[in-house]
Amino acid sequence: MRRPGARAVWALHLAVILLLLGLQVVVPPFHQIMLARIMVLAVYAIGYNVLLGYAGLMSLGHAMLFASGMYATGLTILYFGVGAGAAFGLGVLASAVMATALGLVTLRASRVSFLIVTMMFSQAFYLATLYFNEITMGDQGFIISGQLAPLRAGGREFAFSDPAVKYNLALVVFALCLMLSVWLTRSPIGRVLVGVRENEERTRLLGYNPLSYKLLALIASGTIAGASGSLYTLMFSYVGSSFASILYSIYPLLWTLLGGTGTTLGPLLGTALMTYVVDIASGLTSSYLLLVGATLLILIMWFPAGVMGGIRTRWARWLP
């Protein structure tokens, strides 16, 4: 009763999904691919936001979870010719396992240590992708388009090279993860996570074990990140070490901060803005990462709530 506008919340998110569904008909091909890429990366940001926005834990090691999804999908296709669906499932599973292991080890650390420790584990993972370059092809990476069979459904074939297939696949996964995140944040678990974020000691004395809830958040976060990585591999057919590098841990942090930490639509907005900005900038200069740094600095100094956070405080208190 007091939680405002459950209907309005679901309707808003549904409208965003329908808008994205419609956009593919009107936008030119270049932007269709851009939007597909934004949606799949926004899934990554949604996953990151589950941990940062709701459990209040800042990780610098999500590249490891994103890349686990990528490598599990890419390698099984490359070496064993696994089908796309199974490879996706394996990617999600691999990142879930990785997130569980990472959580069991790192959540014992306090918040600042958690940042550093996740970064170090992720860096070790990155170095491992370089070290085992006979399997992973290291920095150079590998392409799976030759080994990847098209999806078959209802007697029709859907090739991953087809932009429309890319777009709608990304949309389906994005819509699922967005709705999952909305529902999670409105669930009893989501309320406990916010409690842990706001006042861990109090939450403990309200009868909740903070550690197990943080672990749950990290697993959910990592699994969603892995789904994004896995789908990215299927859509763009390429896997390389750079996706495991620290930059790919910083990107979701940046997207989430820009869009608005702890808002459900923030990750999409932040990813979209930043992806377009970086795309334009990288056409102009090789130093486009300067924008990444400058945006981070400006956000943390003047706009820590991000775009959606700002909108929420100013106009729409009911936004989740």
Q: Contact residues for other proteins (CB under 8 A)?
A: 1-3, 6, 58, 60, 105-106, 108-113, 115-117, 120-121, 123-124, 127-128, 130-131, 183, 187-189, 191-192, 194-195, 198-209, 246, 250, 253, 257, 285-290, 292-301, 304
Q: Which DSSP letter does residue 287 get? A: T
Comparing CB distances to other proteins, the nearer of 77 and 224 is: 224
Q: How far is the CB of 91 from other proteins (least distance, A)?
A: 23
CB-hemisphere CA count at 13 Å for 19?
A: 9
Report whether 77 contacts 207 (CB < 8 A). no
Q: How far is the CB of 9 from other proteins (least distance, A)?
A: 13
Comparing CB distances to other proteins, the nearer of 12 and 211 is: 211
Q: Which of 100, 199, 105 is nearest to 208 (CA)?
A: 199
Comparing CB distances to other proteins, the nearer of 58 and 172 is: 58
Comparing CB distances to other proteins, the nearer of 1 and 153 is: 1
Phi, psi (deg, nearest 5) at residue 263 = -120, 145
Beta-bridge partner residues of 142: 239
Report whether 61 contacts 221 (CB < 8 A). no
Q: How far is the CB of 69 from other proteins (least distance, A)?
A: 21
Backbone φ/ψ region at 141: left (φ over 0), alpha (ψ -120 to 50), beta: left
Q: How far is the CB of 310 from other proteins (least distance, A)?
A: 16
Comparing CB distances to other proteins, the nearer of 73 and 295 is: 295
Query: What's the one-letter identity of residue 5?
Result: G
Task: Round to whole Å and give the CA distance between 90 and 92.
Answer: 5
Comparing CB distances to other proteins, the nearer of 140 and 286 is: 286
Q: How far is the CB of 263 from other proteins (least distance, A)?
A: 14
Is residue 126 within a helix (H) or strand (E), and if so which, with residue range? helix 111-131
Report whether 40 contacts 228 (CB < 8 A). yes
Q: How far is the CB of 246 from other proteins (least distance, A)?
A: 7
Q: How far is the CB of 131 from other proteins (least distance, A)?
A: 5
Comparing CB distances to other proteins, the nearer of 54 and 160 is: 54
Q: Which residues contact 59 (CB under 8 A, 6 or more apart)?
A: 48, 51, 52, 114, 115, 118, 218, 221, 249
